[in-house]
């Protein structure tokens, strides 16, 4: 059903939630799994004259960090059908860069972590996952972060607050 699954990561706990789900789906469907890291472009500073930081070290460090995250993901999942992609020269809009890769790689599913914000929070803070859903034509599986449990809740209540899956087709 899903021949090629894309899971973008950024080193955050949210993206880490999506990795094992994507890996398990790839195993179940005998799919290729592409793990994507998008290197953020260096910022331009505008004033009397435009200034682009000439610190090539910062760019190299960002790429190295992405490659480390990808290699860690590869080791953690241990599957031979994993492609690692570190995108350096993509769109500066992260969601658009992810959507571009999903289209170029002819992915059949994108798996991403999400905070699952409530409506008031959502209106203020954009969601890359939601933007990706609007940009791609393939299904997007969102892995929702578990809600934090109050300190006095019982083990039963905590187990009921497990991560929830949302599917957008």
Instruction: Specify burial of residue 18 (Cβ count, 10 A radius: 0-12, 13-18, 19+).
Output: buried
* Interatomic CA distance for residues 138 and 133, integer angstroms: 8
The tokens of 30 are what?
A: 């005998």
Q: Is the pLDDT of residue 136 over 90?
A: yes
| pLDDT bracket for residue 152 (50, 70, 90) | very low
- Indicate the pTM of the whole model: 0.73
Q: Is the pLDDT of residue 32 over 50?
A: yes
Provide mean pLDDT across the span 44-61.
61
Provide mean pLDDT across the span 134-162.
68
* Interatomic CA distance for residues 167 and 122, integer angstroms: 18
Provide mean pLDDT across the span 62-66.
83
CB 40 within 8 A of CB 128: no
Which of 140, 142, 16 is CA-nearest to residue 69?
Answer: 16
Q: Is the pLDDT of residue 142 over 80?
A: yes
Alpha helices (H) along the chain: 13-29, 56-77, 94-104, 119-124, 128-135, 155-160
Q: Is the pLDDT of residue 110 over 70?
A: yes
DSSP state of 150: P
Find tokens 């798996």 and name the residue: 111
The tokens of 10 are what?
A: 């950024």
Which of 32, 36, 33 is CA-nearest to residue 15?
Answer: 36
Instruction: Specify burial of residue 84 (Cβ count, 10 A radius: 0-12, 13-18, 19+).
Output: middle
Output 163 or 99, whichever has higher pLDDT. Answer: 99
Sign of the alpha-carbon dihedral angle for 115, 121, 125, 131: positive
- In percent, how much of the chain has pLDDT > 70? 70
């Amino acid at each position: 059903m899903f021949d090629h699954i894309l899971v973008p990561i950024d080193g955050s706990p949210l993206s880490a939630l999506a990795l094992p789900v994507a890996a398990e789906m790839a195993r179940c469907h005998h799919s290729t799994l592409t793990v994507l890291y998008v290197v953020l472009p260096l910022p331009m500073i505008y004033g009397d004259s435009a200034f682009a930081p000439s610190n090539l070290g910062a760019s190299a460090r960002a790429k190295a960090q992405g490659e480390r995250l990808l290699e860690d993901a590869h080791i953690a999942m241990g599957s031979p059908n994993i492609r690692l992609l570190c995108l350096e020269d993509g769109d500066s809009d992260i969601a658009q860069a992810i959507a571009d890769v999903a289209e170029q790689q002819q992915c059949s599913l994108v798996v991403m972590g999400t905070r699952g914000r409530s409506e008031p929070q959502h209106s203020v803070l954009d969601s890359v996952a939601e933007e990706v859903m609007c940009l791609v034509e393939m299904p997007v599986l969102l892995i929702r972060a578990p809600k934090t449990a109050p300190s006095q809740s019982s083990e039963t209540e905590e187990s009921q607050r497990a991560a929830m899956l949302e599917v957008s087709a």
